[in-house]
Amino acid sequence: MRQIVTFLVLGMAVISIAHSGDYSAEVDSSRATAREFMQTLKQELLAGMQDGGPVNAISVCNLSAPGIANTYSVRNGWDVGRTSLKVRNPANAPDTWERSVLESFEERRRAGEDPAKMEHYEVIRQDGISELRYMKAIPTARLCLACHGEQIDSTARERLEILYPNDQALGYKIGDIRGAFSISQPLDTAGK
């Protein structure tokens, strides 16, 4: 009996060590990817707007954002994307976990936290697979209002209506949380 108890206690210790692994390096790499994604998108948006205003930039954004996300996914074997509580593209709709994190970001903002610094991560274990899920809030800046604000140029609006008939991503103000970057990184738990 005592042996069984000892075995159980040891077993539990091993499990809890496995659960308390240090994933700070993985968190840092998710953070760096979100930062790079944000910078690349902003550059593409600015360049697109300079070339031909919001109407032109819609095509840039429409094609390039999913493309950039895909490049990061392929490069790292991760799942990288953007999501929101009010999506423009239904393909970006949040899953249950993402929705609860987005809701917690809204609560944190109501409590006075700056969206520009908001992030959340968790190690999720499901069906024997572990992954680090990371989200970083995306605040609405002035640049975003041309396509997500309250007053949108009529040609840009028409273009958006054609591309996204169920668009919910309108009516934002500067400082609102427009959405979040979301990254799932498979973890190698060996030795953690």
Q: Between 73 and 189, whose beta carbon lies closer to ligand HEC?
A: 73
Smallest distance, ligand HEC to C-beta of residue 21, A = 30
Q: Between 29 and 89, whose beta carbon lies closer to ligand HEC?
A: 89
Smallest distance, ligand HEC to C-beta of residue 140, A = 6
Q: Which of 45, 102, 123, 177 binds ligand HEC (CB under 6 A)?
A: 45
Instruction: Check if the beta carbon of residue 69 is closer than 8 Å to that of residue 183.
Output: no
Smallest distance, ligand HEC to C-beta of residue 88, A = 4
Phi, psi of 74 (to 5 degrees): -65, -40
Residue span binding ligand HEC (CB under 6 A) among the ranges 25-33, 77-85, 104-112, 127-135: 77-85
DSSP string for residues in the chain = -HHHHHHHHHHHHHHHHHHT---HHHHHHHHHHHHHHHHHHHHHHHHHHHHHHHHHHHHHHHHHHHHHHHHHHHHHT-EEEEE-SS-SSGGG---HHHHHHHHHHHHHHHTT--GGG-EEEEEEEETTEEEEEEEEEEE--GGGHHHHSSS--HHHHHHHHHH-TT----S--TTSEEEEEEEEEE---TT-
Q: Is residue 132 a contact residue for ligand HEC (CB under 6 A)?
A: no
Determine the size of the site formed for ligand HEC (CB under 6 A).
27
**How many residues make up the chain in this entry?**
192
Q: Which of 134, 148, 177, 184 binds ligand HEC (CB under 6 A)?
A: 148
Q: Which amino acid is located at 59 in the chain?
A: S
Instruction: Check if the beta carbon of residue 187 is closer than 8 Å to that of residue 132.
Output: yes
Q: Is residue 34 a contact residue for ligand HEC (CB under 6 A)?
A: no
Q: Is residue 169 a contact residue for ligand HEC (CB under 6 A)?
A: yes
Residue span binding ligand HEC (CB under 6 A) among the ranges 11-19, 105-113, 137-145, 182-190: 137-145
Beta bridge partners of residue 83, listed in sequence order: 180
Q: Between 65 and 132, whose beta carbon lies closer to ligand HEC?
A: 65
Smallest distance, ligand HEC to C-beta of residue 79, A = 15
Q: Rule CB under 6 A: which residues touch ligand HEC?
A: 42, 45, 54, 57-58, 61-62, 65-66, 82-84, 87-89, 92, 138, 140-141, 143-144, 146-148, 169, 178-179
